[in-house]
Structure 1
Amino acid sequence: MIVRFSVQERTLLQALREVPTTRVVWEDMNITEDGGVVLLFWAESDDFEAFEAAMQNDPTVESPRTVTTFRNRRLYQAEYVGGGRAKRAHSALVETGAIIQECVGTHNGWTLQIAFPSHDALQQYYTIFDESDIQFTPLEKYEQSADRLLDEFGLTAKQEQMLALASDRGYFDVPRKTDLDELADELGISHQAASERLRRAMDILVGRSVGTATASTSEYEH
């Protein structure tokens, strides 16, 4: 179940309104050992200096720093001090088993696209939003079939599930928070099957994004 909705969340909103040509794309959020929250996000702007100055005065973040710079976008890291609503929303995702596919902030607010494992998980997330006094407006909802995944991304449902689980459990983090044995156990498959499924999924995505996909039809069987 894929759902897109807008959220009136104030994270970085003051900075975005001060520099309205800026667009922020959420990358990750980590909870530190002492309960703090560290945000990682991309920014696209025609005036990065103004946006960085605006972040210094934004009440929802502290200690923003540039992680890396490209020609038209920059990756930032900042400590979240916005009162805990974003932290509760993130915890709700973990509780429901949902996965953020896209999270974009502009001067108008935030738009999210989230994949939920079931209708019950979606309703649970809505309930948590209501209890946290976070205003949200559903924009689009649809079920993503295996055929759609195969046509749009070149992935089967099992390959997409493998990638999503690996990302959610921290397999791609540095250092890794899980390993293939744990992922295989959670999916109820062998270590070898998990390894092959993940490798083939990565091969397909890399081929689609930076080169010509060379996956054969037999690769989709996993």
Structure 2
Amino acid sequence: MIVEFVIQQPTLLDALRSVPSMRVEWEQTDTTANREVLQVFWAIGDDFEAFETALHGDPTVTAPRCLTEFSDRRLYQVEQVGEGRAQSIYPAIVEVGGVIQRCTATSEGWELQVRFPDNDALSHVHDICARHDLDFRLRRKYEEASDTTRSDTFGLTEKQHQMLTQAVEQGYYEVPRKIGLDQLGSELGISHQAASERLRRAVTILTENALSLERDDRPDEGVDTQAAE
């Protein structure tokens, strides 16, 4: 299960809000033998001098060090301290078997894409965010198709494939239509709204994978937070 969400975890947010043209891409987090929590990240933007000054004033990190430098990005290492360390959800994600696939930050907050083993794991991380009073906004939640499924069905889940197949076979896309969403949903045991959402997602995923398009980070309007489809 893949989950995309935004949280207001405080690490580096002061620095990013001081220089909003910069953004951060998380690389890794490690704990040393002295129990220091070291975070490595890429900073991307056009004002590294101001960003480095802001790093030294950010209360969530200390000892910033530039490891690698390119024209448009630099690799930094910092130690997480204070609220940055106390409110980090990284340990909770690791504890439940989550795998971070993407983690970026801007002045608006941290955006994560995480593979969770199940809904209980997601619920645990959500509870940790609530305990730390961290705003959690779900963007998307969906099942990850296997390599076999992806090659055969262009990345559609079984439910999405079934929905789209029935819609085509029963004349939903014909002019005039031979079947409506109410009847399609009824045959699958779901509501009109759920049928509309599932069909919309199926068409979007099919198109993106068939045309090899990159998915953007737009929110998935109307995502059912109770069941990934």
Q: TM-score, normalised by structure 2?
A: 0.62
| CA pair 101-148 structure 1, distance change in 2 beyond 3 A | farther
Q: Where do residues 1-222 of structure 1 align in structure 2 (5 Å cutoff)? A: 1-83=1-83, 84-87=85-88, 89-147=89-147, 150=150
Hey, what's the Cα distance between the residues in 1 that align with 2:98 and 2:110? 18
The CA deviation string for residues 33-80 of structure 1, in whole angstroms up to 9 with x for no partner, is: 222210100010111111011101111111101000112111000111
Q: Which 5+ residue runs of structure 2 have no aligned equivalent?
A: 152-229
Kindly indicate which of the two structures has a greater share of residues assigned to helix.
1
Hey, what's the Cα distance between the residues in 1 that align with 2:104 and 2:149? 22
Q: Is the 8 A contact 1:11 1:82 kept in 2?
A: no
2:7 aligned partner, one-letter code: V
| CA pair 85-52 structure 1, distance change in 2 beyond 3 A | same
Q: Is the 8 A contact 2:97 2:117 kept in 1?
A: yes
Hey, what's the Cα distance between the residues in 1 that align with 2:148 and 2:11? 33
* Structure of greater Rg: 2
Q: Is the 8 A contact 2:87 2:132 kept in 1?
A: no
Q: Is the 8 A contact 1:20 1:106 kept in 2?
A: yes
Percentage of identical aligned residues: 47
CA RMSD of aligned residues (A): 1.9
2:34 aligned partner, one-letter code: D
Hey, what's the Cα distance between the residues in 2 that align with 1:148 and 1:99? 21
Hey, what's the Cα distance between the residues in 2 that align with 1:98 and 1:38? 19
Runs of 4 or more, structure 1, over 2 Å off, are 82-87, 147-151
Q: Is the 8 A contact 2:38 2:79 kept in 1?
A: yes
Q: TM-score, normalised by structure 1?
A: 0.64
